[in-house]
Amino acid sequence: MKIQEADAKSLLLAQGLPVPPWKVARTLAEVEAAARIFFDGGAERVVVKAQVLVGGRGKAGGVKLAGSPVEAAEVGSKILGMDIKGITVRKVLVGAAAEIVKEYYLGAIIDRASRRIVLMASSEGGVEIEEVARQNPGAIHRVSADPELGLLAFQARALGLAIGLRDPLLNPFVAIAEGLYEAMKANDADLVEVNPLAIVAETAADGATTHRLVCLDAKLTLDDSGLARHPELEALRDLDEEDPTDAQARRLGINFIHLDGTIGCMVNGAGLAMTTMDLVKHYGGEPANFLDVGGGARRETVRGAMELILADPKVNAILVNIFGGITRGDEVAAGLIEARARQSREVPMVVRIVGTNAAEAARLLTEARFETATSLDQAAEKAVALAKGAAR
């Protein structure tokens, strides 16, 4: 689950990272009021940043500076409502603008190969790290944390030295790297990025300028499978930006992953769903989705799952493959019959139900004139033929 910059900053702040204060605004009046607070606090300029769950907001015109509350509202009017990579901006972050001296990149990911959290840093900050990886891979430095020992101070120091940081900024960098690692673990995140991590110049009342490292941007992705351990993080889900299909699948408690093909698949069990997709491919078809309705699916779930499959206009055939165990075949059959009675468009379907109450399921399906199959091979082959027939 992706979360907004402002929420990611809250989680970093909770680990003691240096994040400058901010406010979130949804209207121009709120932008102006927020900006006024920062100007009253001594800011010379404020920054207004689009809060959308995509990167490259700066390039897209979603990050702007302003010299007065009124000007903040003006740039706010350009950013609120703008479209960034297909997403409408509904809220912005407002904060005192930093005077940037240099931008770095600092991030943490889970490296599946080594099964460790890897910290990455680069002196080429502010640009997308994928770009640095392409153009100048040598500029990205990495250390990997031992899961038992955690990120050790010498590793963080080596990373800081590698990107050119020296005393007096090296120790603050070590603290930031350690905090980033803690934020990753504390929230079961699978990615945390601070880009830019910036050296900023701060001028005190007496005119003395000091340099400090601060997190000017934050990106954090939570591991969906870890969310159950952090019910409070569920509140950070941005429903404005969630794909309606994903939201519906979550409400139904099913696993649904949208794919590019034409054959909608409804299966119980993740392994069987994979096998079903393999067979669809084997017979020359392309699955439109991965869908595991789970164990003991009730007819409401089956009906909802069918709606999800049919919501994809590319779907021109459906393959249902249910292996009844806890799941009762007759319950699934009843759900399919209900779903078809309500569905908005007619799509050919092949149903294979075996296991618990298969005979009763077969009777219901035959009565309702469903096309059925007994073996999975036969079902997949038929579904592919139906999809090809429909495409013609």
CB 261 within 8 A of CB 281: no
Sole binder of Mn ion in the list 4, 122, 155, 195 (CB under 5 A): 195
From ligand GDP, Mn ion, none, which one binds at residue 18 (CB under 5 to 8 Å depending on kind)? none
In terms of DSSP bridges, do strands 371-372 and 349-355 run parallel, antiparallel, or are they unpaired?
Answer: parallel
Q: What is the largest CA-CA distance in the chain?
A: 88
Vertex 344: Cα angle to 341 and 346 (nearest 5): 75
CA distances from 25 to 33, 41, 392 (A): 9, 18, 52
Closest residue to ligand GDP in the complex (CB): 58
Vertex 155: Cα angle to 152 and 158 (nearest 5): 150
In whole angstroms, how close is the CB of 346 to ligand GDP at the nearest point? 45
Judged by beta carbon, residue 97 or residue 291, the one nearer ligand GDP is: 97
Judged by beta carbon, residue 64 or residue 328, the one nearer Mn ion is: 64
CB 74 within 8 A of CB 68: no
Reference 301, options 325, 273, 335, 267; nearest CA is 335
Rounded distance between C-alpha atoms, residue 138 and residue 156, angstroms: 18
Q: Which of 30, 103, 124, 193 is catalytic?
A: 193
**Number of residues engaging Mn ion in binding (CB under 5 A):** 2
In whole angstroms, how close is the CB of 127 to Mn ion at the nearest point? 9
In whole angstroms, how close is the CB of 254 to Mn ion at the nearest point? 35
In whole angstroms, how close is the CB of 2 to ligand GDP at the nearest point? 13
Question: Contact region for Mn ion (CB under 5 A) — 194-202, 300-308, 343-351, 363-371?
Answer: 194-202
Asked if 217 touches Mn ion (CB under 5 A), the answer is: yes
- Using DSSP, state whether 331 is helix, strand or coil: helix
Closest residue to Mn ion in the complex (CB): 217
Judged by beta carbon, residue 126 or residue 172, the one nearer ligand GDP is: 126
Taken in order 172, 174, 176, 178, the sign of the CA dihedral is negative
Judged by beta carbon, residue 193 or residue 292, the one nearer Mn ion is: 193
Reference 365, options 325, 329, 389; nearest CA is 329
**Catalytic residue at 193?**
yes
Judged by beta carbon, residue 3 or residue 322, the one nearer ligand GDP is: 3
In whole angstroms, how close is the CB of 97 to ligand GDP at the nearest point? 4
Q: Which of 32, 103, 104, 105 is catalytic?
A: 105
- Which residues in this chain contact ligand GDP in the complex, by CB under 6 A? 47, 49, 55-58, 63, 97-98, 100, 103, 126, 195-196, 216-217
From Mn ion, ligand GDP, none, which one binds at residue 63 (CB under 5 to 8 Å depending on kind)? ligand GDP
- Using DSSP, state whether 358 is helix, strand or coil: helix
Strand partners, 353: 322
CB 153 within 8 A of CB 174: yes
Query: Interface with Mn ion by CB under 5 A: which residues?
Result: 195, 217
Catalytic residue list = 105, 193
